Amino acid sequence: MLKPEVTTKLNEQLNLECYSTNLYLQMSAWCHNKGFEGISQFFQKQSREETNHIYRIFDYLNDTGTMPLLGAIQAPPIHFSSLTELINFAYEHEKNITNQINRLVHVTMTLQDYSTFYFLQWYVAEQHKEEKIFKSILDKFEMIAIDYNGLFLIDQMMKNQ
Ligand code: OFO
């Protein structure tokens, strides 16, 4: 049986993962609308990964006899002035998620809930991977001049990410 504080935090995270799914799906739509098909595909893949994050927490709550609680999900932004702004937004979002996960891990450690602490280690590793992905994309933006040719190259490259 989970402690109430852990349950609350896990439900918060569950809802944040729902937001992440919607955010990346919306970003995929924005990219597709602007003609960046490769990046649009990349964000669809990211959105599916976020859905996987939802189910991990959903299943964990169920498995521990706690009913998952889905609340209202904030709408993701739909306007970006540039592709760089969009990628930056995604990178900042991942950094926020990392902070949330760290706080959650801290709560489990403080309350000596080692089962949930162990469960969350996958998220810790996943956040490291996701921050690295978005940071490396931003680095490529800096390396390749953001003119039309540069953007085309990045779009093609991200089809295989
Ligand atoms: Fe992007 O890792 Fe979940 O939210």
Q: What is the CATH number of the domain that holds 55?
A: 1.20.1260.10
* pLDDT at 90 > cutoff 80: yes
pLDDT of residue 153: 73
The answer to whether the beta carbons of residues 83 and 33 sit under 8 Å apart is no
Annotated binding site for Fe cation: 17, 50, 53, 94, 127
Atom 1, ligand 1: which residue's CA is nearest?
94
When the pLDDT of each residue in the chain is averaged and rounded to a whole number, the result is 93
The domain total for the chain is 1
Residue 97: CB within 6 Å of ligand 1? yes
The answer to whether the beta carbons of residues 13 and 104 sit under 8 Å apart is yes
The answer to whether the beta carbons of residues 31 and 83 sit under 8 Å apart is yes
* pLDDT at 106 > cutoff 90: yes
| Overall average pLDDT of the 73-85 stretch | 95
pLDDT tens per residue across span 2-40? 999 999 999 999 999 999 999 999 999 999 999 999 999
Residue 130: CB within 6 Å of ligand 1? yes
pLDDT of residue 148: 61
The answer to whether the beta carbons of residues 58 and 5 sit under 8 Å apart is no
Q: Of 27, 87, 94, which is best to mutate to test ligand 1, by the most ligand atoms within 8 angstroms of its C-beta?
A: 94
Domain range spanning residue 61?
4-158
The answer to whether the beta carbons of residues 107 and 6 sit under 8 Å apart is yes
> Band of the pLDDT at 141, cuts 50, 70, 90?
confident
> Band of the pLDDT at 149, cuts 50, 70, 90?
low
| Overall average pLDDT of the 78-107 stretch | 96
